[in-house]
Structure formats: structure tokens, C-alpha cells
Structure 1
């Protein structure tokens, strides 16, 4: 799995940091998303997917790597 965020789309709601705190945080200045781990371990994948689904601005993109053992 590879994760990308678009800080320009982010509206600083914080769902991502609440759902997957090992992967996402919020900028102290404006609350926008901070990506902590662009290639999170498998144990974080379900939370990352949930965070992407709960992002009201669609600022999180998840790229699955089918068949690589890393998805």
C-alpha cells in the first residue's frame, strides 16, 4: 500500500488523524493533514482505508499493490 495526501484539498477536519494516528497527523498551524507514513505496515491498512473513506475532502489517495504481498 502507498498513501498520498493532498494538503491543498484538506479542510482540516481531522478524521484521518483520529482513525489512523500512526499514519496521519495534523499540522499545528492550520490543521491540515500531515502524512507520517506513505507506506504503512499491513497492520495499519484497514485504518488507512477507513480514514480515506471518512475524509470529507477526498484528500487521501490509497494505492493498493495487488499481488506484491504488500497490500
Structure 2
């Protein structure tokens, strides 16, 4: 699985970080960073929940 971010849509709100801080981080400038773009399959439930929590739909999972 791979995490994709639409940088034009992302507003750095941090919902993803609050759901899965091991994979997402919002910096002091409200820019979201994916810490691990290809998490292991064992993390799918947590990552999928974080992706689904994005209020602006800037995150998607591939695979």
C-alpha cells in the first residue's frame, strides 16, 4: 500500500496525524509530511482510518 497526498488540497489540519502519528506529521507551518509512504500491510486499518478522517479528502491509499 502507498499513501498519496494531494498537496494542492491539503490544509494541514492534522486529523491524519492525530489518528496515525507514526505515519503523518504536521509541522509548525501547517505542512503535512508523510513519514512512511509505504507502510506495512499490518498497519492498513490505522492508516486507512487516518486517510478517511481527512476533512478535505487530500489523502488516498493505493494498493
User: What stretches of structure 2 of length at least 5 have no aligned partner?
Assistant: none
If the length of structure 2 is used for normalisation, what is the TM-score? Answer: 0.87
Counterpart in the other structure of 2:13: 13
Higher relative CO (Cα under 8 Å, sequence separation at least 6) belongs to 2
Alpha-carbon RMSD:
1.2
With normalisation by structure 1, the TM-score equals 0.78
Structure 1 unmatched ranges of 5 or more: 65-71
Instruction: Answer with 1 or 2: which has the greater Rg.
Output: 1
Q: Distance in 1 between matches of 2:10 and 2:62?
A: 18
Could you list the structure 1 runs, at least 4 aligned residues long, displaced by more than 6 angstroms after superposition: none
Counterpart Cα distance in 1 of 2:5 and 2:58: 5
SS in structure 2 at match of 1:4: strand
